[in-house]
Amino acid sequence: MAGQPEPFSGVERPFGSNDKVKPMRTAVVITSLQALTWCCVVLLAVLSLLPAHDMVRTSLPGRVEHFIAYAGSAAIAMAGYGATRGAAQMIGGFWVYAGVLEYLQHFSPGRHPAIGDFAASALGAVCGGLVIALVRRRWLA
């Protein structure tokens, strides 16, 4: 109708898309991604600090596992929180977290910290976070 504002015109859309999205669906997706972020954070801690005799490994090298775990976690975090926090803040947080967890392995039986493991985790966080940041930027253009 002429002269009436468009419904949902002020609603934040995922990744800044211009699609007509119902606000409830967007809120559910964002909230789900935020909850999943914290599940990833807890899972990273549990898997990083398990005693060596309780660990179950995949057929992948350990550093590849670190890369994949942090890339996925950072990507999920950027998708859930990236609209309200910057990429540097999110990625930096995962770097600090990876360093803290790597250090805490001193206190886990049979585990030992390694700079290479930290580097794989940090690189994974950068790659996962930047992929989502670039997708979001492309979506906004």
The C-alpha atoms of residue 43 and residue 38 are separated, in whole angstroms, by 8
Q: Please indicate, yes or no, if residue 92 is contained in any of the structural domains.
A: yes
In percent, how much of the chain has pLDDT > 70?
A: 84
Q: Please indicate, yes or no, if residue 13 is contained in any of the structural domains.
A: no
**What pTM did the predictor assign?**
0.80
What's the one-letter identity of residue 69? Answer: A
Q: Please indicate, yes or no, if residue 2 is contained in any of the structural domains.
A: no
Q: Please indicate, yes or no, if residue 6 is contained in any of the structural domains.
A: no
Q: Please indicate, yes or no, if residue 10 is contained in any of the structural domains.
A: no
Q: Identify which has the larger pLDDT, 125 or 17.
A: 125
The C-alpha atoms of residue 107 and residue 73 are separated, in whole angstroms, by 24
Query: 138 pLDDT band (50/70/90 cuts)?
Result: confident
Number of domains in the chain: 1
Domain span holding position 50: 21-140
Task: Output the six-digit token pair for 127.
Answer: 């790659």
